[in-house]
Amino acid sequence: MQIDVQTVNIEQKNQTFTHLKNRFGDKKIPSRYQEASYDLQAVENLHYRPTWAPEQELYDPNLSKIRMNDWYDLKDPRQFYYSTYTLNRAKQQETMESNFKTVESLSLIEGMPDPVLKVAQDLLIPLRHVNYAANMNNTLVCGYGYGTVFTQPCVYHAMDNLGIAQYLSRLGLMIGDVESLEAAKQDWMDSDAWQPLRRSLEDLMCVRDPVEVFIKQNFVLDGLLYPLVYQRLVDQNLVEQGGSGISILTQFMTNWYLESKRWVDSVIKTMASESAENKAVLEEWIDSAANHFTSVLLPVAGLAVAGNQADELVSEAHDELLQRAKKAGLFK
């Protein structure tokens, strides 16, 4: 049986907004992502120069060594706009809530071997401060980057990092209450293992080129940290030792990294293919930062595994990162 629902058909005047028609033609109706992301930023006839940096413009593409003819080429392949972003995260949040409840009701933390809990405490909880730095760095990119399409995902990424920091904090409270967080902070501030990374992040928080910050934080550091810590040390090593409960509570981080990779890699690929100059700048940043962050992550890995294994895992992560860079068109 066929049901014909009659709605009155009124002929449209305009398929879309002119700025979208100029970009994409008017054969297809633009997506909500396109409507939400293209050309929303003011372009010309800006009124006043920033009093905080009078040599700059209010929206200034020259803040970066990277140059794009059209910053709107940097489309997010995930096509996140506010609505799809929050709906996505809300689903993940529900899963995590359920995970926390499960771990708690089954007393999985209490049942865990001490060495596993020690690794969780020593390795994972201090990372909440690393995520805080990532939140600050992504906020900078959103504020000072150029073009909605490039800057929009950065505020989502910043809030994601805050969310991860909060999940790690909750994990800490489960493992050892307030004392866990206090101890982790103490380690972050004083222990030998964390100082090189902390210093690096303080250095990175002094960089004002938004694309440089984007690359070094989101591609290099996270590109080493997540495969090393979450994929290998937690999801493989800790699970083998009886720490599935921990892995469940860091599920968000693992999935988030895989999702974000698509975006970060796409941005790099587009920037690299734009010009030989961009490619050279990206290669220089990535090469030096990859070497540097690899070395500062070595003692961090050492909190979970013995010296030579740490070396191995960290090297693996470094090689994986360079493979990613090659796939994005660099170092070739």
Partner 1 sequence: MDIKKTPKKLNVKEKYRLMTRDLAWEPSYRDEKEIYPYVDYEGIKVHDWSKWEDPFRLTMDAYWKYQAEKERKYYAIIDAHAQNNGHLNVTDARYLTAIKLFLQGISPGEYAAHRGFARVGREFAGVGPQVACQMQSIDEIRHAQTQVHAMSNYNKFYNGFKDFANQRDRIWYTSVPRSFFDDAMSAGPFEFLIAIGFSFEYVLTNLLFVPFMSGAAYNGDMATCTFGFSAQSDEARHMTLGLECIKFMLEQDPDNIPIVQKWIDKWFWRGCRLLTLVAAMMDYMLPKRVMSWREAWNIYGVENGNALFRDLARYGIKPPMHWDDVEKSIDHTSHQIMLGLYQWKFGTAFHSWTPTASDIEWLKEKYPTTFEKYYLPRWEYAIAQKEAGGEYNNFGLPKLCQTCQLPCLFTEPDDPTQLAHRETEYEGEKYHFCSDGCQHVFEQEPEKYVQAWLPMPALMQEPLKGDLAAWMEWVSLEPTAAGEYANSEDKANFEKWRKQVSTD
Give 81-107 as a DSSP string: -HHHHHHHHHHHHHHHHHHHHHHHHTT
Q: Rule CB under 8 A: say whether 199 interacts with partner 1.
A: yes
Interactions with partner 1, residue window 299-328 (CB under 8 A): none
Q: How many residues bind partner 1 (CB under 8 A)?
A: 90
In the complex with partner 1, which residue's Cβ is closer, 126 or 227? 126
Inter-residue contact 281 to 66 (CB < 8 Å): yes
Q: How many other CB atoms are found less than 10 A from the CB of residue 279?
A: 18
In the complex with partner 1, which residue's Cβ is closer, 214 or 278? 214
Site string for partner 1, 142-161 (x = CB under 8 A): xxx---x--xx--xx-xxx-
Question: Exactly one of 129, 232, 318, 324 binds partner 1 (CB under 8 A); which one?
Answer: 129
Interactions with partner 1, residue window 214-233 (CB under 8 A): none
Distance CA 279, CA 273 (A): 7
Q: How many other CB atoms are found less than 10 A from the CB of residue 214?
A: 28
* Smallest separation (angstroms) from partner 1 to the CB of 270: 22
* Largest Cα–Cα separation, the chain: 74
Interactions with partner 1, residue window 38-77 (CB under 8 A): 39-52, 58-59
Question: Exactly one of 78, 118, 261, 269 binds partner 1 (CB under 8 A); which one?
Answer: 118
Among all chains, which residue has been given the structure tokens 């060594």? 65
Q: Which of 66, 184, 192, 93 is nearest to 131 (CA)?
A: 184
Q: Which residues of 35-49 are buried (b: 16+ CB within 10 A; e: fewer)?
A: bbbbbebeeeeeeee
* Smallest separation (angstroms) from partner 1 to the CB of 84: 9
Among all chains, which residue has been given the structure tokens 């982790």? 184
* Smallest separation (angstroms) from partner 1 to the CB of 126: 10
Q: Rule CB under 8 A: say whether 8 interacts with partner 1.
A: yes
Distance CA 159, CA 138 (A): 9
* Smallest separation (angstroms) from partner 1 to the CB of 87: 5
* Smallest separation (angstroms) from partner 1 to the CB of 252: 9
Inter-residue contact 266 to 219 (CB < 8 Å): no
* Smallest separation (angstroms) from partner 1 to the CB of 46: 6
Site string for partner 1, 11-40 (x = CB under 8 A): -xxxxxxxx-x----------x--xx--xx
Question: Exactly one of 2, 7, 69, 105 binds partner 1 (CB under 8 A); which one?
Answer: 7
Question: Exactly one of 1, 3, 206, 276 binds partner 1 (CB under 8 A); which one?
Answer: 206
Interactions with partner 1, residue window 171-190 (CB under 8 A): 173, 175-181, 183, 185, 188-189
Q: What are phi and psi of 110, to 5 degrees?
A: -60, -35
* Smallest separation (angstroms) from partner 1 to the CB of 45: 4
Question: Exactly one of 108, 165, 193, 330 binds partner 1 (CB under 8 A); which one?
Answer: 165
Interactions with partner 1, residue window 247-276 (CB under 8 A): none
Report in angstroms the alpha-carbon separations of 15 from 24, 32, 200, 306. Answer: 11, 13, 50, 62
Which tokens in the block code for residue 262? 């698509």
In the complex with partner 1, which residue's Cβ is closer, 187 or 274? 187
Q: Rule CB under 8 A: say whether 104 interacts with partner 1.
A: no
Report in angstroms the alpha-carbon separations of 173 from 103, 121, 124, 303. Answer: 13, 10, 12, 20
Q: Rule CB under 8 A: say whether 296 interacts with partner 1.
A: no
